[in-house]
Amino acid sequence: FTRSHEALDQALFDQRLAAADALRQALYPGSKHYRLCYGESDGLPGLVVDRYGDQLVVEIMSLGIDLRRELVVKALADSLQPACIYERSDSYSRKLEGLPPRIGVLAGELNPEAVIEENGLKFAVDLEHGQKTGWFFDQRDNRLALRRHVKGRTVLDAFCHTGGFALNAAAGGAKVVLGLDVSEPAVARARQNAALNGQESVCTFEQADLMQALKHKVEAGELYDVVVLDPPAFAKNKKSVEPALAGYKEINLRAMRLLPPGGVLVSCSCSYHIEDELFRVMLVDAARDAGRQLQLLEFRHQAQDHPVLLAARETQYLKCAVMRVV
């Protein structure tokens, strides 16, 4: 979009994508792994570009960008000379726009098994079949922030995906880390990532239904010093907000009952339709029903490579509350 009469031509895409990349290089000097373009926030609504070293993964979610796919590819190819530009336009957002899914190589040759570096750790990423574009860059800063709460402590990472929070906990000096996820492929990848970072003795990963697993742990009287909750989006639209809040409350209530006094809960929601205040109220209700009193240490959002455009509220979607039981 533009406030002036600019042509939606190659020059515009060249300039905006170059500016977007320059911002990320300033935010994460020397890194080659980040969200390069974040839609409206970078002046290109409906376009997401994630950088995995010398490979770029593109997601197109609007008709305007869909019709100008070639301009995007040329701008990225000319500025970064990537080995591959791969499209993963298969999200729910694209369906809402009435656009069919599109997956495939746009330029170069894909190496689906990428290894990224984040916060001094290495992670193997599946660019073809992994969730979203393969990795959740939006939690980068929150994963790093977890480290200051875990030294010498036991950690439960629920909805652990491929081990992002769990391995940052290990890097922060956690004594024992247990990661749980419903997806067996994600658990297998998490184990691979633990081995990649030499943390097999600290981190254990298991496949589990999280609702049932949390319930059983509470019933068994288990306790953890730190619990991380990073579930998938429960609210896909406004109609699903009420049942989503009930789901968030239930998992948070169970997590709170696993914490002793002084324990820390890191609770996340990536649902845009669950606004900050709704999330806070849900946490208060869960704490009351769990019989816990909590201090809010931090209320965080997505990483800096997902900048928030103040005029577009939907660009701020991720919530990450860091709380301590008193």
Half-sphere exposure of 130 (CA within 13 A, CB side): 22
Which residue in 176, 79, 90, 184 sits closest to 128, CA to CA? 90
Task: For residues 199 and 163, give the distance between their C-alpha atoms in angstroms, rounded to a whole number.
Answer: 11
Enclosing H/E stretch for 53: none
Strands (E) across 187-257 are located at 203-207, 226-229
Task: For residues 110 and 27, give the distance between their C-alpha atoms in angstroms, rounded to a whole number.
Answer: 27
Both structure tokens of 215: 């319930």
Task: For residues 252 and 208, give the distance between their C-alpha atoms in angstroms, rounded to a whole number.
Answer: 17
Both structure tokens of 230: 């990073």
The residue from 37, 160, 203, 270 that is catalytic is 270
Is residue 257 left, alpha or beta, with left meaning phi > 0 and alpha meaning psi from -120 to 50?
alpha
The yes-or-no answer on residue 270 being catalytic is yes
How far is it between the farthest Cα atoms of the chain?
65
At position 123, the amino acid (one-letter code) is F
User: Which residues, 6+ apart, have CB-to-CB distance to 73 below 8 Å?
Assistant: 58, 85, 106, 107
User: For residue 326, what is the DSSP state?
Assistant: -
Catalytic residues: 270
